[in-house]
Amino acid sequence: MAYDTNNIFAKILRGEIPNQTVYEDDHVLAFRDIHPKAKVHVLVIPKGAYESYEDFSAKASDAEIVAFTRAIAKVSKLAGIGVTGYRAIANTGADGMQEVPHFHIHLLGGQRIGGMITLPE
């Protein structure tokens, strides 16, 4: 499937939609989730056009993967959850119930996050 250049995170990356930036470098942008599911809820995205974790893992350059992985700890510190902890979630594809087709990792913290998952009936 081709990357949808009109997805909301692509628009954020082009500066067409505002965001509350937490961190930015050449390869990565991190910003607050617009509908936070925890006291701290930050999204970390690569600047490259990758639709999912699957796509990013398979196709991103080593430099992009290193920058993205290193950014997680920088973002968690900046968001104040590096020490207290957080959950990192990458919803991927249909079964992962990914809504926005641009790879992102959710960092959720600032409180106890609760059980791992609840499967639908």
Please name every residue paired with 86 in a beta bridge, in sequence order, or none if there are none.
109
Q: Is 52 in the site for ligand AMP (CB under 6 A)?
A: no
> Of these, 99, 115, 118, 120, which contacts ligand AMP (CB under 6 A)?
99
Find, among 23, 2, 9, the residue nearest to 104 by Cα.
Answer: 9
Find, among 35, 55, 44, the residue nearest to 96 by Cα.
Answer: 55
Nearest to ligand AMP of 83, 119 (CB atom): 119
CB of 69 to ligand AMP, least distance (A): 19
Q: Which stretch binds ligand AMP (CB under 6 A): 29-37, 44-52, 79-87, 112-120?
A: 29-37
CA distance 104 to 120: 23
> Of these, 35, 115, 116, 121, which contacts ligand AMP (CB under 6 A)?
35
CA distance 81 to 10: 26
Nearest to ligand AMP of 83, 120 (CB atom): 120
